[in-house]
Chains A and B, each alone.
Chain A
Amino acid sequence: MTDTMNDAAFVEFQRVQKSYDGENLVVKDLNLAMPKGEFLTMLGPSGSGKTTCLMMLAGFETATHGEILLDGKPINNIPPHKRGIGMVFQNYALFPHMTVAENLSFPLEVRNLGKSEREEKVKRALDMVQMGQFGGRRPAQLSGGQQQRIALARALVFEPELVLMDEPLGALDKQLREHMQFEITRLAHELGITTVYVTHDQTEALTMSDRVAVFDDGRIQQLAPPDQLYEEPENSFVAQFIGENNTLEGVVKSIDGNTCLIQLDDGSEIDAVPINVHNPGERTKVSIRPERVEFNKDRLHADAHTLTATVKEFIYMGDVFRFRMSVAGNDDFIVKTRNAPDAIRLTPGQEVEIGWLAQDCRALDA
């Protein structure tokens, strides 16, 4: 959760708190440091305070407590229009009474750029998002995806060093979304822009970001690169929130360095890596990814603990087989295997022994 606050941090939240009504803290003790050029995603359920953080950074809300630093300087007292931060809003916020080109030229006009320079930059920005021939149109005459691209171009046209995007792809269909995800990351890296991206779509977060900050309840639950977030969740919220996850509940029996023995509620025992458990007797939630579960005996360690599972459902998904099993009292235990030539197709009702490598199984907070 805590990132080492290096001196090179470009954006920094220090112990930031925010309350709208003086009764509830919407953001509680936020600490975050971003180096220049990083693409950071804020991911979290609805109402977890993501937009609030973005608005504080942009200057439209003031932090109730704490400091926000931009390039080492506190910005709490700088008005929004002097912060030089590009923004893409969830509903695009393209000015309806201006053409696309006028929209793009607006930030340049308020910076008193000359006409020819403005035109050139607008053209370049439009070409960048492949909307060159749409300069004369009104926003209402564009499709959702086109508006989205214009909003992006407008946020980038004045070459800000920091760009904030609040669920910019929320309204797009899946295909366009994937295309735009690619475009946004490409542009951000090409132009070397520091980006804070807000979404509640975890796939989007994992595919686009250098690092992901998982928000819940006004706090960052984990801040890590996507692979680490998926494979090494630090608490059960993150494990549940990111990707598909199986949870088994039990009590810690013994801890031995990097492994521990867990007794599940039905009495069976499994090995796990202790993450958030420290003493025997603690309750824990054990997390295991569906694709790490193994029921082919040959691939398991000889001394590995195994559980007996009853197959409830078999779902054919093309590239993978997905089984729903009943394991240790959990009826929604999911197992996935790749559709390889030697893959075993289990049938509902069948009983199998399942197991996994101890390092894939993480004992988290209860």
Chain B
Amino acid sequence: MTDASQNAGPMLAADGTPLKQSLARSLRRQKLRALMLVAPLLLFVMFSFIIPIASMLFRSVENSMVQETLPQTVEALQSWDETSGELPDEAVYDAFVRDMVVAVDNKTHTRLGSRLNYEETGMSSMFRRSGRKLGKMDPETDGPFKDQVIEIHEGWGDPNTWAIIKTHSPAVTNGYFLNAVDMRRTPEGAQSQPEDKQILIKLFGRTLFMSLVITGACILLAYPVSYLLATLPMRVSNLLMILVLLPFWTSLLVRTSAWKVMLQQQGVINDTLVWLGLVADDARLIIINNQIGTIVAMTHILLPFMILPMYSVMQTIPDSYTRAAKSMGATNWTTFWRIYFPQSVPGIGAGSILVFILAIGYYITPEIVGGTKGVFISNRIAYHISSSLNWGLAAALGTILLAVVLLLYWCYDKIVGIDNVKLG
């Protein structure tokens, strides 16, 4: 069949136009209609999803603030060698005063201060404190400035200050990404952060590890339940299904708080264990505000996302397969392992991807029950967005998270095959 059509060249329709072309024409109306039907969703996704993500990607490298606020200084610093250990010359200070007068006028110098404070603590207050005096200078008459400026704040007499300004002056920076992997941009190039500031890599590792544990726990717990759901008579399985879906009808916050009540040291579980005599009263288990708390609560919350795809796949496995296997002499275990299980793998795959991707970006539950040892990278992102206001770093972390998810997805496709995933 394929050989024939290859040899015969393009097929022609009745009117002599190539068949492909006339097929495309006849399908155009259909396609147009399909496009109109998806248009509202497409627009919604564009504005509420794609554009924010693009802006996040952009923010993670964007760094125009130094250049915009101190344009002349940046230019003057070009000729200065930051590795010499000497202060820049008068030209730089002159340019700096000119820039600052404008900046103080526009009140942008404090923002620059906060921006540079991410790189070196103290910068923020330096800009704030010297702002008033610098703003009052007249660049045309008051020079030379070098000593006056150093007089206002001794920080301006430190070559390191100028080195930082120069290092972070390019409009596009890899600084946030370096920060995100516990490194930083220095005049001498990229270097590791000091020991006490290295937390993000560890946090990434913990997030991945705990997400894997949660996914594994979900698989183990969900498989038997899904099997029951798929094999029980309709009436019973519908009832069970409601129990599975029940958590969906309760607020996430309420469920997580309930776990707090359950798991705390004076909580239900500890009380019961003490009452049963399994645990001494003075040695109550610490199962909250640490990794165990996060894993337990998140496994519970994400379980339905594992059960549903598994169930929908198992439901499509007909009885006749297992019956056929048994009629051929396979024991119950062989039948399960060789016939049933392989056919349920697409469900496990779909559920695992779903749970893992949800887990890796989870925020509320680790925040409430995770304490300090059980938090995820997303909690750190939230911190940078709402508390430290270092949006660039938050964006870089978010971008790395996105990249990790895509990478894992790609690996999964290579190893298991994405067409092996069935959601229904």
Q: Which residues of A contact B (CB under 8 A)?
A: 58-60, 79-87, 89-91, 93, 95-97, 106-107, 110-111, 154-155, 158
Q: Are B329 and A81 in contact (CB under 8 A)?
A: yes
Evaluate whether A93 and B329 lie within 8 angstroms (CB atoms) in the complex, with A106-B338, A110-B334 already known.
no
- CA A97 to CA B342, docked complex, whole Å: 7
User: What are 24 pairs between A and B in contact, CB < 8 Å?
Assistant: A59-B326, A80-B326, A81-B327, A81-B328, A82-B329, A83-B327, A84-B329, A86-B328, A87-B324, A89-B324, A91-B318, A95-B324, A95-B325, A95-B343, A96-B343, A97-B342, A106-B328, A106-B338, A107-B328, A110-B330, A110-B334, A111-B329, A154-B328, A155-B327
Chain B residues positioned under 8 Å from A81 (CB to CB)? 326-332, 335
Chain B interface, >50% SS class: helix
Q: A80-B323, A84-B329, A86-B328 are in contact. List 20 more A-B contacts (CB 8 A).
A: A58-B327, A60-B323, A60-B326, A81-B330, A81-B331, A81-B332, A85-B327, A87-B324, A89-B320, A89-B323, A89-B324, A93-B323, A95-B321, A95-B324, A95-B339, A97-B343, A106-B325, A107-B328, A110-B331, A155-B327
Chain A residues positioned under 8 Å from B331 (CB to CB)? 81, 110
- CA A80 to CA B342, docked complex, whole Å: 22
Q: Are A158 and B328 in contact (CB under 8 A)?
A: yes
B321 and chain A: residue at smallest CB distance: A93
Chain A residues positioned under 8 Å from B325 (CB to CB)? 95, 106
- CA A96 to CA B327, docked complex, whole Å: 17
Q: Mark B308-319, 1 if CB is under 8 A from A, else 0.
A: 000000000010
Interface size class of B (residues with CB under 8 A): 10 to 19
- CA A58 to CA B329, docked complex, whole Å: 11
- CA A90 to CA B318, docked complex, whole Å: 12
- CA A153 to CA B349, docked complex, whole Å: 33
A104 and chain B: residue at smallest CB distance: B328
- CA A155 to CA B330, docked complex, whole Å: 13
- Least Cβ–Cβ distance between B33 and chain A, in angstroms: 32
- Least Cβ–Cβ distance between A150 and chain B, in angstroms: 12
- Least Cβ–Cβ distance between B135 and chain A, in angstroms: 75
A163 and chain B: residue at smallest CB distance: B327
Chain A interface, >50% SS class: loop
- CA A295 to CA B59, docked complex, whole Å: 99
- CA A345 to CA B329, docked complex, whole Å: 61
- CA A90 to CA B324, docked complex, whole Å: 11
- Least Cβ–Cβ distance between B235 and chain A, in angstroms: 13
Other-chain contact of B327, A87, A95, A97 (Cβ < 8 Å): A87
The 10 A-B pairs with the shortest beta carbon distances in the complex, nearest first, are: A107-B328, A93-B320, A93-B324, A87-B327, A80-B326, A110-B330, A81-B326, A97-B342, A89-B320, A110-B329
Q: Are B323 and A87 in contact (CB under 8 A)?
A: yes
Which residue, of B318, B324, B343, has the highest number of chain A Cβ atoms within 10 A?
B324
- Least Cβ–Cβ distance between A283 and chain B, in angstroms: 45
- CA A239 to CA B338, docked complex, whole Å: 48
B335 and chain A: residue at smallest CB distance: A81
A94 and chain B: residue at smallest CB distance: B324
Q: Are B329 and A158 in contact (CB under 8 A)?
A: yes
- CA A242 to CA B325, docked complex, whole Å: 35
- Least Cβ–Cβ distance between A82 and chain B, in angstroms: 8
Chain B residues positioned under 8 Å from A86 (CB to CB)? 327-328
Chain B residues positioned under 8 Å from A111 (CB to CB)? 329
Chain A residues positioned under 8 Å from B338 (CB to CB)? 106
- Least Cβ–Cβ distance between B275 and chain A, in angstroms: 45
- Least Cβ–Cβ distance between A310 and chain B, in angstroms: 52
Chain B residues positioned under 8 Å from A89 (CB to CB)? 320, 323-324
Chain B residues positioned under 8 Å from A82 (CB to CB)? 329
A81 and chain B: residue at smallest CB distance: B326
Chain A residues positioned under 8 Å from B323 (CB to CB)? 58, 60, 80, 87, 89, 93
Q: Are A106 and B318 in contact (CB under 8 A)?
A: no
B339 and chain A: residue at smallest CB distance: A95
- CA A83 to CA B329, docked complex, whole Å: 8
A80 and chain B: residue at smallest CB distance: B326
Chain B residues positioned under 8 Å from A97 (CB to CB)? 342-343
Chain A residues positioned under 8 Å from B321 (CB to CB)? 93, 95
Chain A residues positioned under 8 Å from B330 (CB to CB)? 81, 106-107, 110
B325 and chain A: residue at smallest CB distance: A106
Chain A residues positioned under 8 Å from B318 (CB to CB)? 91, 93
Chain A residues positioned under 8 Å from B326 (CB to CB)? 59-60, 79-81
Q: Are A80 and B327 in contact (CB under 8 A)?
A: yes
- Least Cβ–Cβ distance between B315 and chain A, in angstroms: 15
- CA A87 to CA B327, docked complex, whole Å: 6
For window 285-315 of chain B, which residues contact chain A by CB distance below 8 Å? none
Which residue, of A84, A90, A107, has the highest number of chain B Cβ atoms within 10 A?
A107
